[in-house]
Structure 1
Amino acid sequence: MKPSLLLGICSCVISSCNINQKIKVKVSGADMENTITQDAQVTINKNLPVKYNCIIGFSLSSSNEINFSRVEGLPGDTVEIRNGDIYLNNKYCMPPNEKVLPYMVYMTQIKGDILEKYKNRHWNNDYYIFYITKEDYSNIVNIVDSIYLLKFDSSFVDNRLLKGLNHSNKFDFGPLIVPKKDQIIDNAILSLAPTYLSHIDLGNKLNDDYYFCVGDNFIDATDSRTIGLIPKSSIVGIVESISNVNRVYVEP
C-alpha cells in the first residue's frame, strides 16, 4: 500500500480524545458545508457502524488530521452520478439536505448585497455563477435580470477527477462498483483507490472493505470523486453530533 497525500480537504485537529469511544474535534475546511462549517465542533463515535448517509471521520495520512465526508456507497454497491443526482444500484438517492446547484446570473447593475450574501464567482462581463439552493433562487429570481440553472453533461471535462473511469465531471460520474474485502486487485480497482493502492498491489487480495463518499459541498468537495474510495481501516469513526455551525454564503 502506498502513503497518501492530503490536499485541501475538510479536516480537523483532535482537541480532546477518549481512546475507547469518542473524539471531539474542531473542524477546518469546506468539504461538508453547510452541514459542517469552519470552526464547527464535531463528536466522532468510534463504535458506531458505517451506514448509508452517515458522515465519517477518516484519515489520509500519518498526521493527526481527520477529514469528513458522507457515505453514499457501501461495499458491493453500484454508484453513479447523473446530472448531479446520485443513483445507488440504479435507484435515485434523496439528498440528505437541500442541494446547492450552479446558476448563471445576469446583472446589468452590480448588486453588492447579493454578491456578498451568496457564494459566487464572476464569469465574464455582467454574468456570474451562483452556487445556491432552490430557496435561495426564489429569493433572488426577481432581483437579478435573469437566472437559469446550469447543466453539466459529459461534454464538460474536469481533469481533477479519478483517472481511467467512465466519467467526465462531478455531475456526470461513474457508474462504478465499490469493491469488497478479499476481491483480487485489478486495474479497475486500482483506479478506484489510487490514494491507498499502487501497481505493486495488483493480483493481491483487498485487505479492506471500501466506501464511496461525497461531501455535502457537492460542487467543490474533495471526496471519492477525486481522491478515490475510502478503506474501512482509515475510518476513525462516525459523526455523532455537530455544533457551532454557521451557514456559509461566500467563498473563503
Structure 2
Amino acid sequence: MISTVQKDTLNSPKIPKKKSAIREWFDSVLFAVIAATLIRWFFFEAFVIPSSSMEHTLLVGDYLFVSKLHYGTRTPVTPLQMPLTHQKIWGTEIPSYLDWISLPQFRLPGFSEVKKGDVVVFNLPVEHPDLYKNYDAVLPNLKPYPIDLRTNYIKRCVAGAGDRFEIRNAQVYVNGLKSENPPEMQNEYFMAVTTAINETNIFKKNGITEFSSYTETHDDTLTNNDESGYIVKTTAGTALKLKGYDFVKHIDMMVLAKGIRESNVYPNSDLLDWNKDNYGPIIIPKKGLTVKLTPENSAFYAEVIRNYEGNHNVVFKDGKIFQQEKELDGYTFKQDYYFMMGDNRHNSADSRYWGLVPKDHIVGKAVFVWMSIDPDPESFISKIRWKRLFSIIR
C-alpha cells in the first residue's frame, strides 16, 4: 500500500507554482533592464543635444540615435556601474559607478572607420585625472572620470589620423586641399544696420538664436569700425538673405586675423600664434606614425604622449619632451587620433581648445534625429519640430 501510494505520487503531474504578481513584475522589469542595457551597449544609444555647438546641423532639443556598430562597440572599462546610467544616478549627485575594478578596453569589429565629415559622439578626453584642472577657462567644473564614463560630446570629424590639418581664415584645409563645409555650418557675422530693428521678429524668423548688439560685444580685433549693428551667428545662406533687407547696410563674416594669438587655444604655447580661425598646420597622429619632435610640435603632441598613450614618467619642459629623464627627438604613436570641430564654428569648445580625440574615446556615429523639441517655442503646437523627426544627420 505504501509502495502504491509512492508510485501514484511520483507519476502524478506536478502543478507549477504560480508566480506572484510582484515576482512577475520583477522578472519583467529585470528582463527589460537587461535587454535595454545590451542594446545600449552593443547596438545604439539615445542622446539629446544640450548646447548650440553643432547648430544648425543639430539643434538644442534634438534627440538622436548613435550607432555603436559603425566604429565597433567598446568593452567596458568600469564594469561596476548601475545599468542605464552614465556618471551619476538619475536626478542626484551620487556617482553611479565604483572604480574598484578597472578592465582593459577592447573594441569589437565595426563596419567603418571614423571618416572626415562624420558626426561623432566621443568621451571628452580632458576629463583625464591629470588634465581636467587645466581647462577651467574653456570648460569650467570638469571632473575626472574613467575613459568610458567621461562626458559625451558630439562634434564633426574634420581631420582623421595621418591627415595634415590647417585652418586658414576660418576655412579648413586637409592635406593641402580646401575641405567641403557642412551645409548648415554657422559662423559669426557683423550685420551693420541703418535703424533699430525688431530683433525677435527678424532673428527668430530667420532661425537665429544667438545674437547681440554690437555695443554689447565690441571687439576692435574683430570689427574695427564705429557702425551700429548686431553680432549674429548664422549660416552663409541666411547671411545672404539678411543682406537683402533694406535696413541692412552690409553683413560680413568676422574672422580673427592670422598672428593674433588666443591664449585659450590648444596648446597654450608662446611658440604658436594660433587662433580659432587660423590654426596649424599640424599632422594628426596615426597608429604607427613616427614624427620628429620640434619645440613647436612638441607643445601640441606632449599632452597626447603623456596622457593617452599609456606612457609613464613623461615630462614636457622648456619645449622638449622627456621620458625617464631622456629627451625624445621622435615618437611613434600607438593609436589613431582625430580633430573634432562643432558646425557652429564660432561658438564651439572643440579640438581647437582642448586637443585631439584618441580612438579609444570614440563612442559611435550619430545617425538620425528621432525627436526634436524646441526649448523656446512660439506656441504649444510648435513645441515639436515636426520636420526634423527621423531626419538623417549629414
Tell me: CA distance 1:76–1:94, structure 2 relative to 1, closer, same or farther (3 Å).
same
Q: After TM superposition, give the deviation of residue 170 of structure 1 in Å.
A: 1.2
TM-score by length of 2: 0.53
* Number of residue pairs matched by the alignment: 235
* Aligned counterpart for 1:152 among listed residues 243, 253, 256: 256
Using the TM superposition, give the Cα deviation of residue 88 of structure 1 relative to its aligned residue in structure 2, in angstroms.
0.7
Matching residue's letter, 1:20: F
Worse-superposed segment, 190-199 or 89-98: 190-199
Q: Give TM-score, length-normalised by structure 1.
A: 0.79
SS at match of 1:174: strand
Letter aligned with residue 117 of structure 2: N
**Deviations for 1:170-224, whole angstroms, at most 9, x for unmatched residues?**
1111111001124568562552474784594355753321111111111111111
Matched, 1:40 2:62: yes
Alignment partner for residue 23 of structure 1, among 39, 42, 45?
45
**Is 1:238 the counterpart of 2:365 in the alignment?**
yes
2:173/2:179 contact within 8 Å kept = yes
Q: CA deviation at 1:131?
A: 1.9
- Residue 74 of structure 1 corresponds to 160
Determine the C-alpha separation between the residues in 2 that align with 1:24 and 1:40: 10
Q: Which amino acid aligns with 2:69?
A: N
C-alpha offsets along residues 33-85 of structure 1, whole Å, 9 cap, x if unaligned? 12222221121112212112111111124246311111111111101111111
Structure showing the higher helix proportion among its residues: 2
For residue 111 of structure 1, what is the aligned residue in structure 2? Answer: 197
User: Alpha carbons of 1:116 and 1:44: their partners in 2 closer, same or farther (altered >3 Å)?
Assistant: closer
Query: What stretches of structure 1 of length at least 5 have no aligned partner?
Result: 1-14
Tell me, in whole angstroms, the C-alpha distance in 2 between the residues paired with 1:247 and 1:93. 31
Q: CA deviation at 1:152?
A: 2.6
Instruction: Provide the secondary structure at the position in 2 that maps to 1:19.
Output: helix
Per the alignment, residue 179 of structure 1 pairs with: 285
Distance 1:169 1:108, change over 3 A: same
Check conservation: 1:33, 1:248, Cα contact below 8 A: no
| Maintained 8 Å contact 1:184/1:205 | yes
Asked if structure 2 preserves the Cα contact closer than 8 Å seen for 1:71 and 1:213, the reply is yes
User: Paired residue for 1:222?
Assistant: 349
Q: Distance in 2 between matches of 1:193 and 1:44?
A: 31
1:122 aligns to 2:213 (yes or no)? yes
- Identify the residue that residue 6 of structure 1 maps to in structure 2: none
The 1:66/1:245 distance shift into structure 2, 3 A limit, reads: same
Structure 1 residues 205 and 221, CA, compared in 2 at 3 Å: closer, same or farther?
A: same
For residues 305 and 368 of structure 2, what CA distance do their matches in structure 1 show? 28
1:168 correspondence with 2:274: yes
Q: d(CA) in 2 for partners of 1:122 and 1:197?
A: 44
Query: For structure 2, which runs of at least 5 residues remain unmatched after alignment?
Result: 1-35, 71-112, 128-144, 216-226, 315-320, 324-330, 377-394
Q: Distance in 1 between matches of 2:375 and 2:163?
A: 32
Does the CA-based 8 Å contact 1:105-1:144 persist in structure 2?
A: no
Q: Which residue of the partner structure matches residue 246 of structure 2?
A: 143
1:236: how far off?
0.8
**CA 97–167 in structure 1, closer or farther in 2 if over 3 Å, else same:** farther
Give SS of 1:72's match. strand
Match of 1:71, SS state, is strand
Distance 1:108 1:178 in 2: 46
CA distance in 1, matches of 2:214, 2:302: 34
Per-residue Cα deviation, 1:141-178 (whole angstroms, up to 9, x for no partner): 22334123134321443222112364432111111100
Displacement, 1:126?
2.4
Note if 1:206 corresponds to 2:309. no
Q: CA RMSD in A?
A: 3.0
